[in-house]
């Protein structure tokens, strides 16, 4: 009997609603399949809950607790609304956990789901966002902060690009490309920011040589890539880029394929994985029972698939498959939340998925 420990971080805004929904769907699938897999869920404070109880959005006990986990469900956080002492000169909770656990790889798939309408007709691409360096980096920086005020009227932002970090994210991208359509697009801005992005681009090509001739590599400037994505999203397979560009491109890709509410992501470091919807805490709709939990459920599916590969445990893949099928079928049949034009509440949508799991043989 295999047992896995999963952390559950409810976070802010719509976080509690979409994380609760994902845990319920996972629990329902596990008991329906009864294939000998067990999960222990460990709830840990993060975001406003952490501030209120421990004066810290990511309390020490949360980090220590997560060290014992195989992986965890990370909710979004409303960090721009935190009091100044937790907002200025501090990493937000995602940044804090990504750095603390060196979760360097952020995988963000975007595809038009069956039965949904995107701004593009078809697309099936995966963005690899380097998570620890680049322009959102605070590694090696003064007090761990990558930006500071030079004078009251001038701010200075820095970035870090290192061979080690570029190599490891590039390998992740190429490895996945080998299992897909075998195309990698490297995104940079080497025409203007030359040291950093020539390094990024050239090391990606260097890593690509190890996957030659199977995987085809090309590179794009970030500005050109935004235009290419809008015009011909279906041509892209795997995209690899630095931290800030990855953040922006994945929101663009998410909206192109339908809704941010459908956009999952997974952060990994080779030993542990953090499932996290690609969107924010959506304070505008928080607490109204209208959020779309699909992004978080599909992130949980990615977490299970990653654990399956990491622990060579195909039973986790079975669970992932049933969960994914149930959520996709529910959406395709038209039971959807408001962001997709439907009228189901978060709890109704979750119940519909669980019904389907229990009915399916």
Please report, as ranges, the residues that interact with ligand ATP according to CB under 6 A. Answer: 14, 18, 76, 80, 260-261, 279-282, 284-285, 291-292, 295, 339
Exposure string (b/e) for 97-109, b if CB count within 10 Å is 16 or more?
A: bbbebbbbbbbbb
C-alpha distances in Å from residue 78, one per residue of 12, 32, 59, 93, 286:
6, 35, 16, 9, 11
Q: How far is the CB of 76 from Mg ion (least distance, A)?
A: 8
Q: Which is nearer to ligand ATP, 62 or 346 (CB)?
A: 346
Which of Mg ion, ligand ATP, none interacts with 285 (beta carbon under 5 to 8 A by kind)? ligand ATP
- Rounded to whole angstroms, the Cα distance separating 267 from 321 reads 20
- Angle, in degrees to the nearest 10, between helices 93-100 and 60-67: 40
- List the one residue out of 224, 169, 231, 157 whose CA is nearest residue 199: 169
Q: How far is the CB of 346 from ligand ATP (least distance, A)?
A: 8
Q: How far is the CB of 288 from Mg ion (least distance, A)?
A: 19
Q: Which is nearer to ligand ATP, 147 or 339 (CB)?
A: 339
Which of ligand ATP, Mg ion, none interacts with 282 (beta carbon under 5 to 8 A by kind)? ligand ATP
Q: How far is the CB of 293 from ligand ATP (least distance, A)?
A: 7
Q: Which is nearer to ligand ATP, 9 or 203 (CB)?
A: 9
- List the one residue out of 27, 54, 53, 59 whose CA is nearest residue 40: 27
Q: How far is the CB of 84 from Mg ion (least distance, A)?
A: 20
Q: How far is the CB of 167 from ligand ATP (least distance, A)?
A: 29
- Rounded to whole angstroms, the Cα distance separating 6 from 335 reads 29
Q: Which is nearer to ligand ATP, 62 or 281 (CB)?
A: 281
- Rounded to whole angstroms, the Cα distance separating 79 from 90 reads 10
Q: Which is nearer to ligand ATP, 314 or 343 (CB)?
A: 343
> What residue number has its CB nearest to Mg ion?
280
- Rounded to whole angstroms, the Cα distance separating 157 from 141 reads 10
Cβ-based neighbours of 168, under 8 Å, separated by 6 or more: 104, 105
Output the CA torsion sign for 32, 33, 35, 36. negative
Q: How far is the CB of 338 from ligand ATP (least distance, A)?
A: 7
Q: Which is nearer to Mg ion, 260 or 266 (CB)?
A: 260
Q: Which is nearer to ligand ATP, 65 or 93 (CB)?
A: 93
- Rounded to whole angstroms, the Cα distance separating 329 from 327 reads 6
Cβ-based neighbours of 114, under 8 Å, separated by 6 or more: 328, 331, 332
Q: How far is the CB of 299 from ligand ATP (least distance, A)?
A: 11
Q: Which is nearer to Mg ion, 59 or 280 (CB)?
A: 280
Which of Mg ion, ligand ATP, none interacts with 28 (beta carbon under 5 to 8 A by kind)? none
Burial grade of 321 (CB within 10 A; 0-12, 13-18, 19 or more): middle
- List the one residue out of 331, 300, 329, 298 whose CA is nearest residue 109: 298
Size of the site for Mg ion (CB under 5 A): 1
Which residues between 246 and 285 bind Mg ion (CB under 5 A)? Answer: 280
> What residue number has its CB nearest to ligand ATP?
280
Cβ-based neighbours of 258, under 8 Å, separated by 6 or more: 112, 113, 116, 117, 118, 119, 340
Which of Mg ion, ligand ATP, none interacts with 249 (beta carbon under 5 to 8 A by kind)? none
Give the footprint of Mg ion on this chain (CB under 5 A). 280
């Amino acid at each position: 009997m295999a047992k896995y420990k999963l952390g559950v971080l409810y976070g802010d805004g719509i976080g509690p609603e979409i994380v609760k929904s994902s845990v319920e769907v996972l629990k329902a699938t596990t008991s329906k399949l009864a294939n000998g897999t067990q999960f222990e869920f460990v709830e840990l404070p993060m975001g406003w809950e952490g501030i209120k109880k421990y004066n810290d959005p990511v309390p020490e006990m949360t980090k220590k607790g997560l060290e014992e986990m195989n992986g965890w469900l990370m909710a979004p956080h409303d960090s721009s609304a935190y009091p100044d002492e937790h907002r200025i000169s501090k990493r937000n909770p995602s940044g804090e956990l990504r750095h603390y656990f060196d979760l360097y790889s952020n995988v963000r798939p975007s595809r038009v789901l069956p039965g949904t309408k995107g701004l593009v007709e078809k697309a099936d691409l995966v963005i690899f966002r380097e998570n620890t360096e680049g322009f959102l980096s605070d590694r090696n920086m003064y007090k761990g902060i990558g930006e500071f005020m030079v004078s009251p009227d001038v701010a200075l932002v820095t970035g870090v690009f290192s061979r080690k970090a570029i190599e490891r994210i590039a390998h992740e991208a190429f490895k996945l490309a080998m299992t897909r359509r075998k195309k990698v697009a490297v995104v940079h801005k080497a025409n203007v920011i030359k040291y950093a992005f020539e390094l990024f681009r050239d090391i990606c090509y260097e890593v690509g040589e190890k996957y030659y001739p199977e995987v085809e590599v090309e590179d794009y400037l970030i500005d050109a890539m935004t235009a290419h994505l809008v015009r011909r999203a279906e041509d892209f397979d795997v995209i690899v880029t630095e931290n800030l560009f990855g953040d922006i491109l994945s929101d663009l890709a998410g909206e192109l394929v339908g809704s941010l509410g459908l956009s999952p992501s997974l952060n990994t470091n080779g030993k542990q994985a953090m499932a996290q919807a690609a969107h924010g805490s959506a304070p505008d709709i928080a607490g109204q029972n209208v959020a779309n939990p699909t992004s978080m459920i599909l992130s949980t599916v990615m977490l299970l698939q990653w654990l399956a590969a990491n622990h060579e445990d195909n039973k986790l893949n079975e669970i992932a498959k049933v969960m994914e099928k149930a959520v996709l079928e529910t959406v395709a049949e038209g039971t959807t939340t408001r962001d997709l034009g439907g009228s189901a509440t978060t709890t109704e949508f979750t119940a519909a998925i669980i019904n389907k799991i229990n009915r399916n043989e």
